[in-house]
Amino acid sequence: MSDLTEHVDVVVVGGGPAGLFAGLTAARAGLDVRVLEAGGDMSASLCPRVVARLRGQKVRDVEKFRLQCPRCDCLTGLGGAAFHFDTNLGYISSLTRSKIERAEDGRTRSYSGLERALGDFDRAQGLVAEVYETFFALGLPQVEVHENTLASGGQAFEHVDTAPSQSVTVDVALVMIDALRAELEADRGRILLHHNVDGVVPLPGGGFAVSAQTPDGPVSLTADSVVVAVGKLGLPWVRDLVDTAGVRHRGAGRVDVGVRLETAAEDMAPLIDGCHNPKLSFLNDRGESVRTFCVCEGGRVMQYSFLGAVVLDGQHCINQPTQRSNMGVLTTMNVPEGEDGTEFARGFAATVAEHGGGKPVVCTVDELRGGPEHEGKLATSLIDYRHASLRECLPASVVSDVLEMVDRLNSSNPGLVPGHATVAAPVVERLFPDLELSPDMESSVPGLFFVGDSSSKIIGITYGAATGIAAARAIARDREAVSGGVR
């Protein structure tokens, strides 16, 4: 039995960006904090190919380096899934309202998910700036920020966001995570690896009982506050927690579903040369937003198991770029009345996976249009997939949205997406139940906070870290108010 029987001020569940920044902020405020991470240390959780490169070993030539395992299992561990690969941190100079929706008056309006989560744009922008300040202090190299431009194409979309962002490589991330851990544990904080939390129970007199499974057996502790900071893979556990703890929530009313669009890097270069990660959006004829997402220049498409199916994501390959680039094309679909958004997204992914025999499904743009079957090998970075027309397993509305995005991209830069470019599915985002949270990320159960992906409000490294800071600061303020006799 572990020594985790004491009472602590804060327990953070999950050691990704949101959880680490929540833990660091709590530790800086003098609170006794425990960050419980189900996986191991970041360096022990990396893909063997990445480890080989970091050690200076010759893995494969650049083009063959894109080959990955049939399904990635290197998505857990300290630092979270995002830091296990070269990645994009997001906005660096200022926060923007990068998403669009149809307002009640029928007009198109832009918004920031972080602004809505935290209740104020200036507050959200200030926390993002603070996240970057912390990253720089932890070892992230500062780069000169140049205003991005998009040479053409603005007229093809209802909204174009070219805000500068910054990338980070795995070797730099390792330095940052080690430095963050050292500071967090310099006083009363501790990060406990291989602690898979299986229970968070509100106590009658306030606070929580937290239980976890470890290689040495079950452990338990109590805490005044709990910050839930798990990523997408923790969705089933979060759904159980909000039900058992009585957190006020409802099924997600909107979910992001779509595909990864991939073509030769030289084809997509005219779009990316003016902006590292352009965000291009339009509203379809149902008033739903269709947007580009996670543009990976010289990257590859990866797959992993999720919700009993398989889903795709984009991987940045900054140190070992491939000869291809890819981007997500997502539709923020309105879930039919009476349906649960999580189950709707699960059904979307399961339908594609069933059609693919448990594998993602890939076809060319021409095949998606209903053209003849492509002869020969597809130009995709995936190595374990089924070649079949996505018209057979995607909703007709999603097919229409993807083709309209292709047409708009090609109208802005002719030849940007040729007919032999590939389309791979499924991609799903924004799956968590729609939780009722305060601007400090506190749920209807006092002392229980949800940050990062699990908040249901935002995704991404800097956004997640910002919500972690907000939650920890609220806990520290409440602790100070109680200590000062205010309450």
Residue 59 lies in a domain: no
Query: Between 387 and 484, whose confidence is greater?
Result: 387
**Same domain? 25 vs 97:** yes
Q: Which two tokens stand for residue 202?
A: 């509100």
Q: pLDDT, tens digit, for every residue of 438-477?
A: 999 999 999 999 999 999 999 999 999 999 999 999 999 9
Residue 65 lies in a domain: no
Last residue of a domain, one of 403, 429, 455: 429
Beta-carbon neighbour count of residue 222 at 10 Å? 16
Whether pLDDT at 1 is above 90:
no
**Same domain? 185 vs 264:** no
* Distance (Å, whole) CA 295 – CA 328: 7
**Of the candidates 414, 415, 451, 419, the residue with the CA atom closest to the CA atom of residue 432:** 451
**Same domain? 231 vs 337:** no
Categorize the per-residue pLDDT at 84 as very low, low, confident or very high, splitting at 50, 70 and 90: confident
**Same domain? 259 vs 240:** no
Residue 288 lies in a domain: yes
pLDDT of residue 57: 56
**Same domain? 181 vs 194:** yes
Residue 60 lies in a domain: no
pLDDT of residue 464: 96
* Distance (Å, whole) CA 432 – CA 176: 28
**Same domain? 89 vs 226:** yes
Residue 390 lies in a domain: yes
Average pLDDT rounded to a whole number, residues 203-225: 95
Query: Between 106 and 325, whose confidence is greater?
Result: 325
Give the residue carrying structure tokens 């330095």: 175
Whether pLDDT at 201 is above 90:
yes
pLDDT of residue 320: 83
Whether pLDDT at 351 is above 50:
yes
**Of the candidates 58, 34, 148, 56, the residue with the CA atom closest to the CA atom of residue 98:** 148
Beta pairing, strands 361-364 & 324-334: unpaired
Last residue of a domain, one of 411, 429, 447: 429
Whether pLDDT at 232 is above 90:
no
Q: Percent of the chain having pLDDT more than 90?
A: 67
Number of domains in the chain: 2
Last residue of a domain, one of 384, 403, 429: 429
Q: What is the CATH number of the domain that holds 138?
A: 3.50.50.60
**Same domain? 418 vs 472:** no
pLDDT of residue 487: 43
Whether pLDDT at 61 is above 90:
no
Whether pLDDT at 64 is above 50:
no
**Least confident stretch, 86-100, 337-351, 393-407, 464-478:** 86-100
Average pLDDT rounded to a whole number, residues 340-345: 90
Q: pLDDT, tens digit, for every residue of 264-306?
A: 999 999 888 877 788 999 999 999 999 999 999 999 999 988 8
pLDDT of residue 153: 54
**Same domain? 386 vs 473:** no
Query: Bridge-partner residues for 228, per DSSP?
Result: 13, 450
pLDDT of residue 273: 82
> Residue 174: left (phi > 0), alpha (psi -120 to 50), or beta?
alpha
**Same domain? 301 vs 395:** yes
**Same domain? 246 vs 277:** no
Categorize the per-residue pLDDT at 9 as very low, low, confident or very high, splitting at 50, 70 and 90: very high
Angle, helices 17-28 vs 121-138, to 10°: value is 90
Contact (CB, 8 A) for 10 and 31: yes
Q: pLDDT, tens digit, for every residue of 412-447?
A: 889 999 999 999 999 998 888 999 999 999 999 999
Mean pLDDT of the chain: 89
Average pLDDT rounded to a whole number, residues 223-249: 95
Name the burial class of residue 223, with classes exposed (0-12), middle (13-18) and buried (19+) by CB atoms within 10 angstroms of its CB: buried
Residue 440 lies in a domain: yes
Residue 49 lies in a domain: no
Residue 152 lies in a domain: no
Whether pLDDT at 484 is above 50:
yes
Could you list the residue range(s) of the whole structural domain that residue 361 is in? 254-429
**Same domain? 315 vs 282:** yes
Q: Which two tokens stand for residue 271?
A: 């779009």
**Same domain? 383 vs 442:** no
